[in-house]
């Protein structure tokens, strides 16, 4: 069976991914482009005698790349030469979209254009003469409404048709001067590159040579004489009074505008669109920001409120049911103690961590997809850009940073909205300074022990302190990363659109699966290592004797200048690498607070029944949370169970000042390992996590040091 390789490309916000989902049904395969974090989607299916293999290229405005996405698209089209190009076009924005289509036509590859969102264009009163446009461009054109699956079958037919008949797009005339230049350059290239045939030297490649896009020419292995070309170009520049690239863009846009003029008739008076009406409110000078903050607060509160009961449910089911029964089972077959502990605490516990992240990441990814596909994400960036520049990042970084207050892990995934790799990495790097929910239990215990009367103030101080540090680090890093030059922030504000349920489901599911597969195994491995640190040598008599205790004693002197040089706090801080809330439970264990294990009658049937009941209970809780969101519910921290007994002990070991220094340290130090693994899953290396560990811990130490020493000096 013959395979047809079809590259699917188009401008961003044209509904390309909806179209792919619609083409793919359940067969969508998602991976990453080699070496980068950009998602790669593919789908293969049979149609008639052919195997159609669609490859989704990242959204691009031009083949002269600006973003990482555009680079991938350019490289693929030039070096991998697909059999057919399927270009998705926004029918309501023909001129800019055709500018891209015209560049694609230069490649000399059979082409089908999907005039997507055709219904919207009709609603605006646009009339597009499709037959004439087909004739002008020499491509097949199909009107589509991807959200409803309209035109999808026809697209497949046309793809096969242009392939079978090898219908090439028209070679549009770029004007005498450019055409002459192309002819001269072509013969020059043919002599220098005897391996190339005349057909292989497409207009696209020749224009790349003239444009001086060395990156792609190197990949193609094309040789050319720079000085000779320069002399060619000078002629154009002299005659037309602008440099060649400007002239070329002008010509392409001229062709696009000319075509639009011929094929499109639209109402004389431009109506104020639905989107503009909404934007008059959502981007309003006075209401814009309050509304934005309100929307964010509601959405994220809702996400965490719905997810949290299920997190509890999974946590309880694993710790109170799976682990106990697995333990009982292993004991019954006579497994040794250490095996039972390794399997239950190390392995099942590790799987449990992965599971408990699923509801949160799932909900957050759903929201992010919703924000992105509705068009509100661009507005968020528009509103917050001024603020976020203070952090050395741009408007779109606001949402990942905000989510960081809930949990840093989904934030890592949310940074996918940033197109520029550098900005994305910088945002990832700053996210851990946002005090996540797991740090709250630590604050709660220490605040109730030392600052009960001014708890609100201290909590507020900690959160804002984290933000301030993020700002300082962001500015410094920005200077180092960009060396003075800042990247332009030119962003389309696309029309508001209703996302389809299928898109939301597919995107959320893809991201969740990515987390479970890519991050899951690492989380498991590290959990086993931590288990080893806590329990080896097997059954330490005193907590000091465990590996963790020994490491704690070794590193304890480092914390002396911060006000707590004992091995117990050092060890709890070490265990906090697992997840910051663990600091509290480790302290409780170390200080001999370990709760007596309940000995209960075990009955499998009863337990199963109670799991079912609990699930229903938690679902009820999630639903009631949703409603309470709209009432006056606040994010409140549950006091950890161990806390009660721990408070008097803490009061013995810490002073208010050293407690504050401890909280500052917990706020800033070593981002938890799940965050690190999410980074690894997204970037493919542990490098950024390594840097984050070093820098965050250093910053934490310096800040805690200053708090303690200055406080001491002032006589607190």
Residues near other proteins (CB under 8 A) are: 61-62, 64, 66, 93, 95-96, 99, 245-246, 249-250, 253, 270, 275-276, 279, 283-286, 288-289, 378, 381-383, 385-387, 395, 488-494
Q: E-assigned strands of 642-701? A: none
The least distance separating other proteins from the CB of residue 247, rounded to whole angstroms, comes to 11
**Smallest distance from the beta carbon of 151 to other proteins, in angstroms?**
23
**DSSP code, position 264:** E
Burial of 694 (0-12, 13-18, 19+ CB in 10 A): exposed
Q: How far is the CB of 132 from other proteins (least distance, A)?
A: 20
Q: Which is nearer to other proteins, 30 or 467 (CB)?
A: 467
User: Which single residue is written with the structure tokens 């997810």?
Assistant: 307
User: 427 or 569, CB closer to other proteins?
Assistant: 427
Nearer to other proteins, 62 or 619 (CB): 62
What's 443-479 look like in SS3?
A: HHHHHHHHCHHHHHHHHHHHHHHHHHHHHHHHHHHHH
CA 661, CA 458: separation in Å to the nearest integer? 12
- Shortest Cβ 228–other proteins spacing (Å): 22
Smaller CB separation from other proteins, 103 or 147: 103
CB of 234 to other proteins, least distance (A): 17
Name the residue nearer to other proteins (CB basis): 12 or 359. Answer: 12
Q: How far apart are CA 571 and CA 591, in angstroms?
A: 12
The CA distances from residue 218 to 35, 181, 221, 223, in Å, are 18, 21, 5, 8
How far is it, in rounded angstroms, from Cα 630 to Cα 623? 12
Nearest C-alpha neighbor of 449 from the set 589, 584, 595, 562: 584
CB of 115 to other proteins, least distance (A): 16
Q: b vs e for 95-109, b when ≥16 Cβ sit within 10 Å of the residue's Cβ? A: eebbbbbbbbbbbbb
Of 211 and 566, the one with the shorter C-beta distance to other proteins is 211
CA distance 360 to 309: 10
Q: How far is the CB of 592 from other proteins (least distance, A)?
A: 54
Residue 509: C-alpha distances to residues 302, 419, 501, 616 (Å): 19, 21, 12, 23
Q: What distances in angstroms separate CA 472 from CA 249, 340, 391, 466, 647, one per listed residue?
A: 41, 48, 7, 10, 34
Between residues 212 and 656, which has the closer beta carbon with respect to other proteins? Answer: 212
Q: How far apart are CA 307 and CA 361, in angstroms?
A: 9
Q: Do residues 151 and 114 touch, judged by C-beta distance below 8 A?
A: yes
Residue 254 C-beta: closest distance to other proteins, Å: 9
Residue number, 352 or 395, with CB nearest to other proteins: 395
Q: Please tell me the distance from the alpha carbon of residue 102 to that of residue 86, in angstroms, as a whole number.
A: 13
Query: What are the contacts of 482-491 at 24+ separation with CB within 8 A?
Result: 482/422, 487/394, 487/420, 487/422, 487/423, 489/385, 489/394, 489/395, 491/378, 491/381, 491/382
State the nearest-atom distance from the C-beta of 275 to other proteins, in Å: 8
Contacts of 628 (CB under 8 A, 6+ apart): 305
β-bridge mates for residue 264, sequence order: 128
- Smallest gap from residue 378 Cβ to other proteins (A): 7
Please give the angle made by the CA atoms of 521, 527 and 532, to the nearest 5 degrees: 130
CB of 286 to other proteins, least distance (A): 7
Q: What minimum distance in Å lies between the beta carbon of 108 and other proteins?
A: 22
Choice between 256 and 546, CB closer to other proteins: 256
Residue 2: beta bridge partners?
A: 50
Give 193 or 273: the residue with its C-beta nearer to other proteins.
Answer: 273
Q: How far apart are CA 81 and CA 42, in angstroms?
A: 16
Q: Which residue's CB is nearer to other proteins, number 70 or number 345?
A: 70
Residue 272: CA count within 13 A, CB half-sphere: 5
- What span, in angstroms and rounded, lies between the C-alpha atoms of 603 and 685? 46
Task: State the nearest-atom distance from the C-beta of 491 to other proteins, in Å.
Answer: 5
Q: Which is nearer to other proteins, 29 or 284 (CB)?
A: 284
Residue whose token pair is 């302190």: 465
DSSP 3-state assignment of 6? strand
> Which contacts of 530-539 are long-range, i.e. CB under 8 A and separated by 24 or more positions?
530/575, 530/577, 530/578, 531/341, 531/342, 531/345, 531/346, 531/349, 532/346, 533/574, 534/575, 535/338, 535/341, 535/345, 538/337, 538/338, 539/337
Least Å distance, CB 287 to other proteins, is 8
* Identity of the residue, 381 or 664, whose beta carbon is nearer to other proteins in the bound complex: 381
Cβ neighbours for 144, distance < 8 A, ≥ 6 positions apart: 19, 114, 115, 116, 118, 150, 151, 152, 154, 155
CA–CA dist 446, 509 (Å, integer): 39
**Smallest gap from residue 90 Cβ to other proteins (A):** 9
- Tell me the closest approach of the beta carbon of residue 285 to other proteins, in angstroms: 5
Among residues 455, 451, 453, the alpha carbon closest in space to that of 463 is found at 455
Compare residues 246 and 331 and give the one whose CB is closer to other proteins: 246
CB of 344 to other proteins, least distance (A): 53
- Between CA 30 and CA 27 the distance in angstroms is 10
Residue 397 or 586 with smaller CB distance to other proteins: 397
> DSSP letters of 378-393?
HHHHHHHHHHHGGGTS
Does residue 419 sit in helix, strand or coil? coil
Measured from the CB atom, the residue of 71 and 158 that comes closer to other proteins is 71
Nearer to other proteins, 483 or 542 (CB): 483
């Amino acid at each position: 069976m013959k395979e047809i390789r079809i590259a699917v490309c188009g401008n961003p916000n044209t509904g390309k991914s909806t179209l792919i989902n619609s083409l793919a049904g359940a067969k969508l395969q998602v991976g990453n482009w080699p070496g980068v974090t950009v998602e790669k989607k593919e789908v293969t299916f049979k149609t008639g005698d052919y195997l159609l293999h669609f490859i989704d290229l990242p959204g691009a405005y031009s083949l002269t790349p600006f973003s990482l996405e555009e680079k991938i698209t350019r490289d693929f089209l030039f070096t991998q030469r697909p059999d057919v190009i399927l270009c998705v076009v926004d029918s309501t924005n023909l001129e800019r979209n055709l500018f891209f289509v015209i560049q694609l036509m230069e490649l000399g590859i059979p082409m089908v254009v999907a005039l997507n969102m055709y219904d919207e264009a009709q609603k605006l009163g646009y009339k597009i003469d499709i037959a004439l446009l087909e004739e002008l461009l020499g491509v097949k054109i199909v009107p589509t409404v991807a959200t409803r699956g309209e035109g999808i079958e026809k697209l497949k037919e046309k793809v096969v048709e242009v392939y079978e008949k090898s219908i090439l797009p028209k070679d549009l005339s770029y004007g005498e001067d450019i055409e002459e230049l192309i002819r001269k350059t072509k013969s020059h290239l043919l002599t220098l590159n005897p391996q190339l045939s005349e057909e292989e030297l497409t207009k696209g490649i020749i224009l790349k040579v003239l444009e001086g896009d060395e990156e792609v020419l190197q990949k193609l292995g094309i040789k050319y004489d720079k000085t000779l070309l320069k002399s060619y170009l000078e002629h154009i520049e002299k005659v037309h009074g602008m440099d060649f690239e400007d002239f070329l863009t002008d010509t392409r846009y001229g062709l696009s505008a000319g075509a639009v003029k011929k094929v499109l008739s639209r109402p004389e008076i431009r109506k104020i669109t639905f989107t503009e009406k909404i934007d008059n409110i959502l981007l309003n000078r006075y209401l814009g920001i309050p509304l934005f903050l309100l929307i964010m607060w509601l959405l994220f509160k809702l996400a965490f409120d719905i997810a949290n009961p299920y997190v509890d449910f999974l946590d309880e089911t694993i710790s109170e049911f799976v682990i106990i029964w697995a333990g009982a089972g292993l004991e019954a077959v006579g497994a040794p103690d250490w095996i039972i502990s390794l399997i239950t605490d190390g392995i099942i516990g590790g799987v449990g961590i992965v599971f408990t992240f699923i509801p949160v990441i799932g909900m957050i990814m759903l929201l992010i997809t919703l924000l992105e596909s509705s068009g509100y994400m661009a507005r968020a960036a528009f509103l917050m850009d001024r603020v976020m520049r203070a952090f050395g990042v741009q408007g779109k970084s606001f949402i990942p940073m905000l989510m960081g207050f809930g949990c840093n892990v989904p934030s890592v995934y949310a940074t996918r909205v940033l197109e520029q790799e550098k900005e994305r990495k910088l945002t990832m790097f700053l996210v851990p300074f946002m005090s996540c929910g797991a740090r709250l239990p630590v604050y709660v215990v220490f605040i109730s022990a030392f600052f009960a009367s001014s708890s609100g103030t201290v909590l507020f101080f900690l959160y804002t302190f984290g933000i301030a540090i993020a700002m300082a680090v962001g500015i410094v890093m920005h200077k180092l990363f960009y060396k003075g030059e800042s990247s332009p922030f030119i962003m389309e504000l696309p029309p508001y659109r209703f996302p389809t349920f299928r898109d939301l489901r597919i995107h959320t599911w893809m991201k969740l699966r990515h987390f479970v597969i890519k991050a899951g195994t690492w989380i498991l491995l590290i959990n086993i290592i931590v288990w080893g640190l806590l329990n080896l040598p097997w059954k330490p008599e005193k907590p000091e004797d465990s590996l963790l205790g020994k490491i704690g004693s070794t590193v304890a002197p480092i914390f002396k200048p911060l006000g707590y040089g004992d091995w117990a706090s050092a060890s709890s801080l070490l265990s906090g690498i697992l997840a910051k809330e663990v600091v509290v439970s480790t302290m409780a264990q170390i200080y001999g607070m370990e709760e007596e294990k309940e000995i209960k009658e075990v009955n499998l049937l009863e337990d199963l029944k109670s799991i079912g009941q609990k699930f229903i209970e938690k679902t009820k809780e999630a639903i009631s949370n949703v409603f309470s969101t709209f009432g006056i519910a606040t994010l409140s921290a549950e006091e950890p169970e161990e806390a009660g007994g721990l408070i008097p002990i803490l009061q013995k070991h810490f002073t208010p000042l050293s407690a504050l220094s401890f909280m500052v340290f917990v706020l800033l130090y070593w981002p938890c390992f799940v965050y690190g693994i999410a980074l690894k899953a997204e970037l493919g290396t542990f490098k950024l996590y390594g840097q984050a560990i070093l820098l965050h811990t250093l910053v934490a130490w310096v800040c805690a040091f200053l708090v303690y020493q200055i406080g001491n000096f002032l006589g607190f």
